[in-house]
């Protein structure tokens, strides 16, 4: 269910930041692209931290970071603020969606988590 909300948030946030805040479409796209790349780059280091501190502790930490980033979207008025908030949320997202907190570790469970995450994103983005 988290990924459906994330998919909805991704599509609605584009409308919010272009129509309400007044950023250009290209600016929002650039920030979202940078956030996606930050998420990819953060996956391995955050995975190492999960190995060191435990998957449940990392999930709590990552969910708190994602929650704080989501709440701070309403305070954004400058493009650099939007970039920071999006990158924080995006860096935490992949490990939360991949089933890290469950400590399942088995490739089959990880793959199932990723497939369900992708399906949730698709459902959220296409919902009306």
Task: State the helix-helix crossing angle for 2-15 and 79-97, rounded to 10 degrees.
Answer: 160
Q: Where are the alpha helices (DSSP H) in 54-106?
A: 55-72, 79-97
79 burial type by CB count under 10 A (0-12 exposed, 13-18 middle, 19+ buried):
middle
Mean pLDDT of 102-112: 56
Q: What is the pLDDT of residues 8-57, one digit of tens each?
A: 787 888 889 999 999 999 999 899 888 888 877 887 788 788 888 887 78
So where are the chain's domains?
2-9+27-126
Average pLDDT of the residues of the chain: 77
pTM of this structure:
0.69
């Amino acid at each position: 269910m988290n990924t459906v909300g994330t998919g909805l948030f991704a599509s609605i946030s584009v409308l919010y930041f272009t129509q309400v805040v007044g950023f250009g479409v290209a600016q929002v796209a650039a920030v979202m692209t940078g956030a996606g790349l930050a998420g990819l780059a953060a996956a391995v280091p955050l995975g190492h931290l999960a190995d060191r501190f435990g998957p449940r502790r990392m999930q709590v930490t990552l969910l708190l970071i994602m929650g704080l980033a989501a709440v701070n979207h309403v305070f954004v008025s400058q493009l650099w603020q939007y970039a920071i908030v999006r990158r924080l949320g995006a860096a935490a997202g992949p490990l939360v969606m991949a089933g890290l907190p469950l400590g399942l570790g088995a490739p089959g469970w990880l793959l199932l988590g990723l497939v369900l995450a992708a399906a949730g994103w698709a459902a959220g983005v296409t919902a009306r």
